[in-house]
Amino acid sequence: MTFKRMITAVDTHSGIPMRVITGGVGHIPGATVYDKMKWLEANDDQLRQLVLREPRGYPAHCCNLLVPPSHPEAQAGYIIMEQVEYPMMSGGNTISVATVLLETGILPMQEPVTELTLEAPAGLIRIRAECEGGKVKSVTFRNVPAFAAHLDAEIDVPHLGKVRVDVGWGGMFYVIADVRQFKGLELIPEHGGEIARVSAMIRQAAIEQLPVAHPDYPGVGITISQLSGPSDDPKADWKNAVTMATGPLSWDDPATWTGAIDRCPCGTGTCAKMAVLHAKGELPLDRDFRHQGILGTVFTGRLVEKAQVGDKAAVVPTISGRSWIYGFNTMVLDPEDPLPNGYTLGDIWA
């Protein structure tokens, strides 16, 4: 058989499916994982489109490419790919990468605890994995510093009116709105369509009205939105629904006012939320913060120390959660396939 590309991957989920590419991709130039990510984005973006769009993917799908690390302390590197961007960091994807590395034997597992260091585009991520019987039962990672960029900012959202939001960095810039501002809207699967609509509109308005900058990652702006509110579940403190973009939003086209909801509690979104709460004096260091996703699963965060990012007061978060392997995948591209980059359609894609 002759194929243009043959890619092997391990499929995982922590609610949202997160694919980990383990083979089939050639050498990627770059002195660091960040450099490799930028090269991939500029020279082989077909890979991201191929594995995340139909027929091999769907809107709420993420992917990671294992690459050699550049830092001597790291045992592996990974490039994160989502529908419209290459994030600097992702919590759920980090948990999935660590799970795949250990449960498939790419890196040795030590029971009851395996400690390792991964290199994300954002830098070194320290991992502590609790292991039993050859399985990863929990992953805790120490994230890059998080900080609040805007607090209680009022933005004017077309068709919604005035909305009060925070903006936090947790590895991506999140615009965060309290769901209680929207009468009748609840963070439940049945309201998924309206959550995605409202969230996409808030994200676009925030992009236009709230400038952000990270001193270490020039050009990275607000790319993702989060609706949140207190949880009525005794196992959680707050509940959230993060909506990822699946295409550009045009105010002239209501069909684009949508996105894909993160089915997991969202690691970097939890870090951004914790940074905002800390900046407001509502979450001290060394207290567990149990953040529930739309499916009821929980990631547990904790702020472990203060930090500084440029002129911003920051905090260092940890996140604990779990991911499960659900399949092993070999994806191929037939040289005669008329849609070599995959495809999207307006019935489920923005």
* 248 assigned to some structural domain: yes
d(CA 240, CA 229): 7
Considering the domain architecture, whether residues 153 and 133 belong to the same structural domain is answered as no
* 342 assigned to some structural domain: no
* 254 assigned to some structural domain: yes
Considering the domain architecture, whether residues 195 and 314 belong to the same structural domain is answered as yes
Q: How far is CA 266 from CA 26, 73, 201, 292, in A?
A: 30, 26, 20, 9
Bridge partners of 140, per DSSP, are 128, 320
d(CA 258, CA 195): 9
* 244 assigned to some structural domain: yes
Considering the domain architecture, whether residues 181 and 127 belong to the same structural domain is answered as no
Q: How confident is the model at residue 1 (pLDDT cuts 50, 70, 90)?
A: confident
d(CA 293, CA 302): 17
Which SS3 state, helix, strand or coil, does residue 137 take?
strand
Residue with tokens 């050859």: 134
Counting residues of the chain whose pLDDT is more than 90, the rounded percentage is 99
**How many distinct structural domains can be found in the chain?**
2
d(CA 350, CA 346): 6
Considering the domain architecture, whether residues 209 and 269 belong to the same structural domain is answered as yes
Q: How confident is the model at residue 232 (pLDDT cuts 50, 70, 90)?
A: very high
Q: How confident is the model at residue 350 (pLDDT cuts 50, 70, 90)?
A: confident
d(CA 302, CA 318): 5
Considering the domain architecture, whether residues 212 and 93 belong to the same structural domain is answered as no
Is the pTM here over 0.75, yes or no? yes
The mean pLDDT of the chain is 97
Q: Averaged over 264-271, what is the pLDDT?
A: 97
Considering the domain architecture, whether residues 162 and 280 belong to the same structural domain is answered as yes
pLDDT tens digits along 24-69: 999 999 999 999 999 999 999 999 999 999 999 999 999 999 999 9
pLDDT tens digits along 278-336: 999 999 999 999 999 999 999 999 999 999 999 999 999 999 999 999 999 999 999 99
Considering the domain architecture, whether residues 133 and 250 belong to the same structural domain is answered as no
**Strand ranges for 14-75 from DSSP E:** 17-23, 62-67
d(CA 277, CA 272): 9
Considering the domain architecture, whether residues 307 and 329 belong to the same structural domain is answered as no
Q: How confident is the model at residue 83 (pLDDT cuts 50, 70, 90)?
A: very high
Q: Is the pLDDT of residue 188 over 90?
A: yes
- Please give the structure tokens belonging to residue 287: 């207290």
pLDDT tens digits along 158-179: 999 999 999 999 999 999 999 9
- Strands 17-23 and 62-67, by their bridges, are parallel
- Strands 222-230 and 173-178, by their bridges, are parallel
* 343 assigned to some structural domain: no
Per DSSP, the residues of 308-335 read EETTEEEEEEEEEE--EEEEEEEEEE-T
CA of residue 137 relative to chain centroid, distance: 20
Among the listed residues 14, 70, 90, 225, the single catalytic one is 90
* 81 assigned to some structural domain: yes
- Whether 199 sits among the annotated catalytic residues: the reply is no
Listed residue (30, 103, 175, 120) closest to 323, CA to CA: 103
Domain boundaries, position 229? 147-320
